[in-house]
A and B are shown apart, each in its own frame.
Chain A
Amino acid sequence: MKITRGRGVAEQVARARRVARSKHDGATSGKRAACFGLSLKTGKKRVASASDDVPDAENPEEIEDALPASPVPPSSLGSAATHQDRELEALAESIKRMYAGYVNEFVKEVRSGFFFGFGFGFSFLSKRSRRSNKRFRRARNTGTASRAALPRRCTRHPGCGT
């Protein structure tokens, strides 16, 4: 990266490192993105990880990828192919076909984006709100929970909707 005048060298180097790191692993920066598990800030696809076995509503294309090829693996029916096993296998196949036929409709429904209307109920608990959360739990356990005892709302992230 070209280092230009007008900025502190340390700041520019830090920025270059940040850019290089994000180019290297495709990750998005920012606390909010990391906490969401979604790249809401930049719109980039989030980094795949071991826990990414389920799709995100934000990325409908992931839904298609995450759907199993068959809802019922043949191995689940056992190795001994009795008449009943064959019957169940045929049934599993027909459910699989129905399921595969529905995937398009399902994805279309998610892709239509109705869920944006609901917003996202994420929140980030600070030390202060953790204290009030503790107060809320205590109030709930004693049966005196009220709105005043509810955890404080997020003030750090204006876009998180909580």
Chain B
Amino acid sequence: MTHERTRAFLSLCASAGASPANVERRVLFGYHGTSAANAAKIMREGFKEQFRRSHGEGAYFSGVMEYSAKYARDHHGLSSRNSAREVPCAPEGPGDILLVALLLDGHKTAFELNKKAPDVPVISATWSVFDEAYAMPLARLRGF
């Protein structure tokens, strides 16, 4: 991700009251299933509104890796309408999963996110919506 966007994310964290002492309560991890092409773009440039394919107010994240894997496959694989625009035999495979740091203040879904035990800092929801600015991609897994 570009330094500007990384800095913007950290500044958001700081302005939301996150500090080294309480970062584990303010920043959690989530998964984002998407196509290989989109995953590469997001890793380079971060989450942007322009990349949004789904309806709604932000980007979708899950605390369940299986859910993101299924989403990546069902919505960005061969069975989806979107796949006609992509190369079906791309070397990366049909879909990727991104591991993303999420600032909880950017959560836009109606339900509350309950924080899990500190040793598993992942959002406790099958799916949830976050403002793109509150998400920072950290790692990419491909081949789902």
Contact = CB atoms under 8 A, between A and B. Distances in A.
B78 to A, nearest CB: 5
Interface stretch (B53-61, B85-93, B105-113, B126-134): B85-93
A162 interface: yes
A14 B11 CA distance: 61
Given A71-B138, A125-B89, 5 more contacts: A94-B19, A109-B65, A110-B141, A125-B88, A133-B84
Given A114-B66, A137-B84, A56 B143 contact: yes
A75 B99 CA distance: 22
A92 interface: yes
B81 A88 contact: no
Contact of A136 (B65, B73, B84, B120): B84
Chain B interface: which size bin? Answer: 35 or more
Given A54-B141, A58-B143, A151-B78, A94 B23 contact: yes
B143 A120 contact: yes
Q: Is the interface of A mostly helix, strand, loop or mixed?
A: helix
Contacts, number: 137
25 contacts: A55-B141, A63-B139, A66-B139, A67-B139, A71-B138, A77-B3, A84-B11, A91-B10, A92-B6, A93-B20, A98-B27, A99-B138, A101-B121, A102-B120, A102-B121, A106-B139, A121-B78, A121-B79, A122-B93, A122-B94, A123-B88, A125-B89, A136-B84, A140-B84, A151-B88
Chain A interface: which size bin? Answer: 35 or more
A71 B136 contact: yes
Nearest to A51: B91
A129 to B, nearest CB: 9
A136 B84 CA distance: 8
A115 B94 CA distance: 13
Interface string A71-89: 1110111100000100110
B62 to A, nearest CB: 13
Nearest to B138: A71
Contact of B78 (A57, A66, A84, A162): A162
B93 to A, nearest CB: 7
B101 interface: yes
